[in-house]
């Protein structure tokens, strides 16, 4: 562990494996099929909602810069290309809440709005501007709830539904259009800060009631509201995303409801889902772009865990496998982790203790960065034929012509294989390597590159196809 008066970072713990691993067990060759094209990759990211950005801002200047480098830097850090913002609904401005741009009822849905803007937005504006300095330019904003006065339960927490939706009657009237304009105004405030929001989501986990900000939509109600929000957002030049359901397979009902309604379908630019109630391991029922916009393993049992491979769900290798499944099995164009930073027993990439001016780093960050640093926006996932038993492989071609092969060895043996890449650079992530350049794992057999895959590891190969220099 490295220590200074201001900074604490972590050395990933070494996992002790039982038994004696086989040495360089031969495996089937990996062949990149360049004629087989799958989804375009829009990027990788994480959420900065619920005032988590403020934790980083609260650090001393030196530690703040070090934490931002880990969380944002293209070459040394997590290298996100997308950030997910939270659109506030709370009347209070406290940690774990998000302040509304209209905290109090203006006098009904038809009254003149009394929007307010502090230019801070729970430190999200500051964080986004820091991200833009580092070349990050995709921002997705999502609302967990409408303000309580717009809902049938009178609170932005504990579920409830938007007044005016089918089956929802409120004495205060129909708030659907007012809520749509509220969301677009949020994007307008960001535009005044010089920040373009690429898409707006009007609901977060509409099929789940939480004790914090939450709001319910049935699939039919989501399709109904899209037809209200869509024209208003389109007039303002804002794209609409839907529906960030609690589980990936639960997204099916929302996608199908919108796909079945041509008036709703024309206004949805992006279909989204989370990975909690069900994992992102098969495509959604649409030919349109899909994003997995939130998932993290539970830290309730694990607490803060820095290990790569300790047998816990919060291990780095577990996150690498989930990213693989989201891209290679679910055909998602994006993978968004729940939080970049948080405090306490969190499963975030970085743990921040702003009270003591320290932070710690998990191996989850390096699992995430192995994909995000090298598979860049506008990359295309391409085909892979063959792989040794127990080895997960996916391949990508970036817009600049570089090709990336991500190889996860889930076994406890060293596995030897070869791959049809020309003179690649290898990066190793395991219990003793944090996405480190590792030329020693590479060799040559004819025109093909040989690679030795360490036990329980992620090997990232970056190169060109054979014969392309």
Residue 282 lies in a domain: yes
Q: Is residue 254 predicted with pLDDT exceeding 90? A: yes
Spatial CA neighbour of 273 closest among 297, 254, 287: 254
Question: Are residues 249 and 387 both part of a single domain?
Answer: no
In a domain, 402, yes or no: yes
Kind and range of the H or E element at 450? strand 448-453
Q: For 121-149, what is each residue's pLDDT tens digit? A: 999 999 999 999 999 999 999 999 999 99
Is 0.85 topped by the overall pTM?
yes
Residue 466's pLDDT is what? 63
Same-domain pairing of 301 and 316: yes
Burial profile 351-360: b = 16 or more Cβ within 10 angstroms, e = fewer: bbebeebbbe
Whose CA is closest to 297, among 279, 282, 283? Answer: 279
In sign, the C-alpha dihedral spanning 208, 214, 219, 221 is: positive
Q: Are residues 360 and 290 in the same domain?
A: yes
Beta strands in 17-169 (DSSP E): 25-26, 31-41, 43-47, 82-87, 138-143
CB distance 314 to 347 below 8 Å? yes
Tens of pLDDT along 133-190? Answer: 999 999 999 999 999 999 999 999 999 999 999 999 999 999 999 999 999 999 999 9
* C-beta of residue 184 within 8 angstroms of C-beta of residue 228: no
Into how many domains does the chain fold? Answer: 2
Q: β-strand 270-274 against 240-245: which pairing, if any?
A: parallel
In a domain? residue 11: no
439 falls within a domain: yes
pLDDT of residue 19 exceeding 60, the answer is no
Distance CA 159, CA 212 (A): 9
- Residue 458's Cα: distance from chain center in Å? 19
Q: Is 141 helix (H, G, I), strand (E, B) or coil?
A: strand
Considering only CA atoms, which of 429, 428, 423, 432 is closest in space to residue 464?
423
* pLDDT class of 8 with cuts at 50, 70, 90: very low
365 and 387 in a single domain? The answer is: no
CA angle 405, 406, 411 (to 5 degrees): 130
Both 112 and 228 in a single domain? yes
Which residue among 349, 376, 403 closes a domain? 376
Regarding whether 197 and 160 lie in a shared domain, the answer is yes
Task: Supply the CATH number for residue 62's domain.
Answer: 3.20.20.80
Q: Does residue 414 lie in a domain region?
A: yes
Do 318 and 452 have their domain in common?
no
pLDDT tens digits for range 66-100: 999 999 999 999 999 999 999 999 999 989 999 99
Say whether both 52 and 80 belong to one domain.
Answer: yes
* pLDDT for 24: 55
Q: Provide mean pLDDT across the span 232-241.
A: 97
Predicted local distance difference test score (pLDDT) of residue 464:
82
Domain coverage including residue 262? 43-376
């Amino acid at each position: 562990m490295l220590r200074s008066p201001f900074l604490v970072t972590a050395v990933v713990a070494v996992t002790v494996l039982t038994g004696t691993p086989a040495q360089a067990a031969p495996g089937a060759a990996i062949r990149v099929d360049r004629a087989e094209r799958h989804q375009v990759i829009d990027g990788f990211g994480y959420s900065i909602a619920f005032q988590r950005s403020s934790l980083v801002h609260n650090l001393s200047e030196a530690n703040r810069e070090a934490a931002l480098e880990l969380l944002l830097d293209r070459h040394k850090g997590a290298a996100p290309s997308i950030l997910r913002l939270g659109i506030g609904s709370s009347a209070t401005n406290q940690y774990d809440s998000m302040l509304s741009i209209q905290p109090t009822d203006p006098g009904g849905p038809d009254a003149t709005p009394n929007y307010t803007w502090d230019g801070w937005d729970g430190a999200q504006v500051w964080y986004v501007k820091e991200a833009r300095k580092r070349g990050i330019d995709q921002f997705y904003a999502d609302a967990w709830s409408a303000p309580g006065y717009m809902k049938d339960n009178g609170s932005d927490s504990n579920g409830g539904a938007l007044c005016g939706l089918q089956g929802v009657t409120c004495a205060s009237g129909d708030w659907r259009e007012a809520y749509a304009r509220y969301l677009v105004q949020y994007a307008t405030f960001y535009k005044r800060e010089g920040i373009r929001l690429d898409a707006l989501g009007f609901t977060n986990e509409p099929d789940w009631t939480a004790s914090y900000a939450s709001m319910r939509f049935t699939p039919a109600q989501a399709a109904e509201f899209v037809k209200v929000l869509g024209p208003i957002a389109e007039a303002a030049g804002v794209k609409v995303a839907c529906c960030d359901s609690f589980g990936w397979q639960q997204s099916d009902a929302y996608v199908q409801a919108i796909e079945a309604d041509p008036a709703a379908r024309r206004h949805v630019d992006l279909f989204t889902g989370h990975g909690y109630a069900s994992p992102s391991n098969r495509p959604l029922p649409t030919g349109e772009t899909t994003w997995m916009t939130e998932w993290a393993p539970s830290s309730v049992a694990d607490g803060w865990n820095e290990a790569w491979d300790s047998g816990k769900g919060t291990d780095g290798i577990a996150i690498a496998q989930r990213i693989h499944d989201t891209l290679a099995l679910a055909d998602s164009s994006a993978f968004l982790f729940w939080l970049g930073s948080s405090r306490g027993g969190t499963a975030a990439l970085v743990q921040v203790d702003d009270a003591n001016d320290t932070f710690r780093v998990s191996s989850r960050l390096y699992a995430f960065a192995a994909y995000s640093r090298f598979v860049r926006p506008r990359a295309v996932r391409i085909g892979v034929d063959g792989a040794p038993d127990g080895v997960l492989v996916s391949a990508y071609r970036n817009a600049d012509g570089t090709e990336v092969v991500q190889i996860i060895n889930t076994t406890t043996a060293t596995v030897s294989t070869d791959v049809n890449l020309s003179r690649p650079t290898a990066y190793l992530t395991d219990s003793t390597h944090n996405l480190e350049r590792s030329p020693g794992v590479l060799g040559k057999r004819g025109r093909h590159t040989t690679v030795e895959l360490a036990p329980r590891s992620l090997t990232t190969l970056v190169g060109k196809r054979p014969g392309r220099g």
